[in-house]
Copies of this chain bind each other. A is one copy, B any other.
Amino acid sequence: MQTNEALDIEATANVLKLLGDKTRLTMVKIMSEHECCVCEFVDLFDMSQPAISQHLRKLKDSGIVNEARRGQWIFYSLNQTSSYYSFIQTVIKDLPSQAFKVEELTAQGKRICCD
C-alpha cells in the first residue's frame, strides 16, 4: 500500500465532517465517476434545489470540488489538485458505485450533456 504524506489532523477532521453526511458522501461518490450539474443532483436526491446548492457550496468552499459553467449549466467535479484528493479517493473506494443512478437519469432523458 502506498504511503502518503502526513495529513493535518484538524483539517482531516473537517474533510471527514463534510463527507459525514449521506447526501454529500453520495454526491462525492457520483462525482468520482462522472461530473454532474446541479439540476442532475436535484433529480437524483429528494431535496430542494437550494439544499443541493448549499451542499455543493460547502464542498466547493473546502476545495474538494470544482465548478465549471458550460452555457446554462454549472458542472461540479472532484478537484484533482486538492491536497485531499487521494485521501478522498481512498475513503470512497469501497462505496457502492452510483453509476446506476446516472443511468436512470439517462433513461429518463434527464441527463445533461454539453458536447
- Mark A residues whose CB is within 8 Å of B: 1-10, 12-22, 25-26, 29, 87, 90-91, 93-96
A32 shortest CB reach to chain B, Å: 12
- Contacts A3-B93, A13-B25, A17-B20 aside, 5 further interface pairs with beta carbons under 8 A come to A3-B94, A9-B22, A9-B96, A16-B19, A91-B91
Secondary structure of the A contact surface, majority rule: helix
Task: Give A2 Cβ to nearest chain B Cβ, in Å.
Answer: 7
- Counting every copy of the chain, the complex holds 2
Which residues from B are CB-within-8-Å of A91? 16, 90-91
> Smallest distance from the beta carbon of A12 to chain B beta carbons, Å?
6
Q: Verify A16–B12 contact, CB threshold 8 A.
A: no
